[in-house]
Chains A and B, each alone.
Chain A
Amino acid sequence: DADVTQTPRNRITKTGKRIMLECSQTKGHDRMYWYRQDPGLGLRLIYYSFDVKDINKGEISDGYSVSRQAQAKFSLSLESAIPNQTALYFCATSDRGTGQNEQFFGPGTRLTVL
């Protein structure tokens, strides 16, 4: 089984709809991240969480919110989706304890907003 899972893998929705993307991990890591990937722009950080009570904005948090329901779960919400939020979204985890700075990525969710 994959260590970092994301649901759904693909989603098509309409402008104005509320969407939630979910991420779960079995790695026991304390840190979790949400990125979006756009062609030619690489990956950009939306939100990150160092533990259940610590949520931080990344470089492109406008239009998004997150919830860290448990150490293993980190959800990303689009309260009112718009077409320029069409992108590939990745969740990632890392372990502060190892000090290795490596992040482990989920398989991604492809979101299309019509």
Chain B
Amino acid sequence: GDSVTQMEGPVTLSEEAFLTINCTYTATGYPSLFWYVQYPGEGLQLLLKATKADDKGSNKGFEATYRKETTSFHLEKGSVQVSDSAVYFCALTPITGGGNKLTFGTGTQLKVEL
């Protein structure tokens, strides 16, 4: 079945540091890929998405590129802020037949310190 693997956290960075959170997936065909973010005490929010190979999703300074050849969708940000502290989830949904069902990774907690 489909699966998503994320790097384990927590990841602790200083403000303005470069961020990478690794995500790889296993799925049939070309799934749609997502990054969701969960701020403390809140539900999940869509951060960015990509629906086909080589697409780059971007939002709020975060980026991720859909790499079919390495089955990866790594999240990056050039300069993190304290307000980026949250849990980040990589997820996928099949391109067909999935009924929008999401398969999530286990989440990576990011802590940004001054």
Q: Are A41 and B106 in contact (CB under 8 A)?
A: yes
Q: Are B32 and A105 in contact (CB under 8 A)?
A: no
Q: Is B42 an interface residue (CB 8 A)?
A: yes
Selected from A33, A44, A101, A104, the residue in CB contact (under 8 A) with B32 is A101
Q: Are A42 and B107 in contact (CB under 8 A)?
A: yes
Closest partner residue, chain A, to B93 (CB atom): A101
CB distance from B40 to the nearest CB of A (A): 11
Main secondary structure of the interface of A (DSSP, over half): strand
Selected from B42, B46, B106, the residue in CB contact (under 8 A) with A102 is B46
Q: How many angstroms between the C-alpha atoms of A62 and B46 in the bound complex?
A: 28
Chain A residues near B49: list those with CB within 8 A.
Answer: 101-102
CB distance from A87 to the nearest CB of B (A): 14
Chain A interface residue count, CB cutoff 8 Å, equals 25
Instruction: Known A43-B89, A45-B101, A48-B99; judge A106-B43 contact (CB<8 A).
Output: yes
Q: Are B93 and A107 in contact (CB under 8 A)?
A: no
Q: Are B100 and A107 in contact (CB under 8 A)?
A: no
Give 1 or 0 for each of A88-102: 1 = CB within 8 Å of chain B CB: 001010101000011
Size band of the B side of the interface? Answer: 20 to 34
Selected from A31, A41, A45, A105, the residue in CB contact (under 8 A) with B44 is A105
Chain A residues near B105: list those with CB within 8 A.
Answer: 42
Chain A residues near B93: list those with CB within 8 A.
Answer: 101
Instruction: Known A31-B100, A42-B89, A48-B101; judge A90-B106 contact (CB<8 A).
Output: no
CB distance from B73 to the nearest CB of A (A): 14
Chain B residues with a Cβ under 8 A of chain A = 32, 34, 36, 42-46, 49, 51, 89, 93, 98-102, 104-107
* A-B contact sample (14 more), CB < 8 A, given A43-B102, A45-B101, A90-B43: A31-B99, A33-B102, A42-B104, A42-B107, A92-B44, A96-B100, A101-B51, A101-B93, A101-B98, A102-B49, A103-B102, A105-B36, A106-B43, A108-B43
The list of the 9 closest CB pairs from A to B, nearest first, reads A105-B43, A42-B106, A42-B104, A105-B44, A94-B100, A43-B104, A107-B43, A101-B93, A101-B32
